[in-house]
Each structure stands twice: as structure tokens, then as C-alpha cells.
Amino acid sequence: MTSSINDTSAIKPKLLSVPTPKSLHLDVCELIGVSLAGVRTSLYIPELKIGFDAGFPFPFQLGCETFFITHGHLDHAAAIPYIISQKNLNNLGPAQFYMPEELIKPLDEIMKIWQSIELHNYQYRFLPLIDDQKIIVNPQFYVRAFQAHHRIPALGYTIFYCKKSLKPEYEGLQKEQLVHLKKDGTIVDQVIEIPIMSFSGDSKIEFLWKHNWIHQAKFLLIESTYIDDRKTTDQAREWGHIHLDEILEALPRIAAEKIVLMHISSRYNDHQIKTILKAKIPDEYKERFVYFEGR
């Protein structure tokens, strides 16, 4: 028998099972991981060796060199000590963990307690970030932090792709002419910084308007913890979260090509989510939405 949208007794996602990570193609890189509200959020981009949040430990995270942690709630940060331990155990070198400054001291205290329990000293680096701060990943990519609006200090992150191209005034010139200009010291190239992906973490919807580049990213990975009337918009905001209705209302202002909904509550199973989204998203916007099924 198929569950109806309003059947709150329907089976929830298996919270204690090992989740299967899902992937999302971001044009220039691949995102893999999971995000289930209140339970686990762990995302990883293998090509860049960077991760976003660490709420659940996956073996693939051991290849991650830099983590960007949005905030300190357990479903986003609980796996940090385990990842540090496993990287030490496998001689993989310490990872860098960027995070809100307020999170560093308590996390460091937690690590010191674990060191005293295990009688082993770990290598790790906890580094503070603030709004609009930039971290270089490699010559082609960097990550920029932005302030989020959650119940505790929180950040979101945008990945930028740096693409080199000819300045418009030199387009159409022959190769020999460009070589001659360069020899004369003329700078003929320009670097275009393209926001590829913005990741909200947990936040109220106001984060979208902090900087234009946040909602202008091609892929907007936005939390949508509640998606129907089981929780109101006011209730979502009280806990520092976003309701689908707020996203739909903001659609005319959001420039992102794809809006990726994630961090949806365990109140909803996959069938319910797809049915609700199909019913609520206006037809003219449906192709812009992606439901990230990794939970």
C-alpha cells in the first residue's frame, strides 16, 4: 500500500543504518555525500580534496585534506575526532579544519580529552574563518566563507572557479601578435572568478542576500529542513532553519541555475519528498530544482 503525503506514520529514513552517499555533478567537479536533518551531513569533492561538514565518518573522507565546517552541531561535526584519529592511524598527515572561530576552543578541548583517554597525541589544525574570507584550494579554485544565520555561530561556503581568458580587446588577434604584446609587457589575459557552488549549512534564508555571489552560484545547495505544513515557516525560523515555502517565495530573486534541496527532515521519506516537491514547485521552476537524495 502506498503511503499518502500526509501519512505521518510512514517509514522514515533508516537513521541508524550506514547511509549510501549520493553524487552530484557540478560541471567542473563532483560532489558526493549525505545530508539528513538532525542526523548527518558530510560532503566531499574528491578532485579538490575538500569536504563540507563531518557529521558522519566515511572512508573516502580520509583522502580529504581540507574540511570546511559550518557549525558545531553533532550532525555536522561529530565525525571530526574520528577522522583525525583515522588519518593519524593511517599516516595520512593532518587535515585542516576551517570553522567559525567560536568553535575552535571547545573542539580543541574535546580533542585533548580524547588524547587523554587514548594516551595518544593527535596532529590536527583548527583554523578560524570569518565572513567574506577566502581560502585558496589550488590555482583554479578557492572557497569563500559567508555568515549564516543559525542558533549558534555558523558559516556557509561558496566555491569559486578561476578561469583565465583573453581580455575582450585582444580577442581575434593572431597568436604571433599576442606573443609580441606579452613580450612588450602587455597583460592580455584576465581571470574570471565564477561562483560554482554555494552551500548553506544550517541557516535561516537571510544568508542568501549577504553577498550577491552566494545566490549567483550555478549550484545553490540549500537546507530545506521542512517542506509542508507539518511545521510552519515560523517554527522553522525559530530553530534557525528554512522552510520550502520561503525558498519558493524567494525564487524570483535567486539567480542560481540549479537549486539543490538537502538537509530535509527525517519526518519525510523519499516518496513523500518527491510527491510534495512535485505538487508545490511551480511548473516554470521545476527544472531548476534538484532533490539531493543522499540521506
Is residue 133, in this structure, part of any structural domain at all? yes
How many domains does one find in the chain?
A: 1
d(CA 127, CA 51) in angstroms, rounded, equals: 14
Is residue 150, in this structure, part of any structural domain at all? yes
Is residue 207, in this structure, part of any structural domain at all? yes
287 exposed, middle or buried (CB, 10 Å; 0-12, 13-18, 19+)?
A: exposed
Is residue 85, in this structure, part of any structural domain at all? yes
Is residue 14, in this structure, part of any structural domain at all? no
Confirm whether pTM is higher than 0.85.
yes
Is residue 13, in this structure, part of any structural domain at all? no
The type of residue at 161 is Y
Contacts with 179 (C-beta within 8 Å, 6 or more apart), sequence order = none
Helix 80-89 × helix 101-118 angle, to 10°: 50
Is residue 98, in this structure, part of any structural domain at all? yes
What is the chain's pLDDT, residue by residue, as a tens digit (295 residues)?
344 445 544 556 667 678 889 999 999 999 999 999 999 999 999 999 999 999 999 988 899 999 999 999 999 999 999 999 999 999 998 999 999 999 999 999 999 999 999 999 999 999 999 999 999 999 999 999 999 999 999 999 999 999 987 878 878 888 888 788 788 888 878 889 999 999 999 999 999 999 999 999 999 999 999 999 999 999 999 999 999 999 999 999 999 999 999 999 999 999 999 999 999 999 999 999 999 999 9
| Phi, psi (deg, nearest 5) at residue 159 | -90, 130
Is residue 226, in this structure, part of any structural domain at all? yes
Q: What CATH number corresponds to the domain at position 148?
A: 3.60.15.10
User: What is the extent of the structural domain holding 170?
Assistant: 22-291
Q: What is the CA radius of gyration of the chain?
A: 21
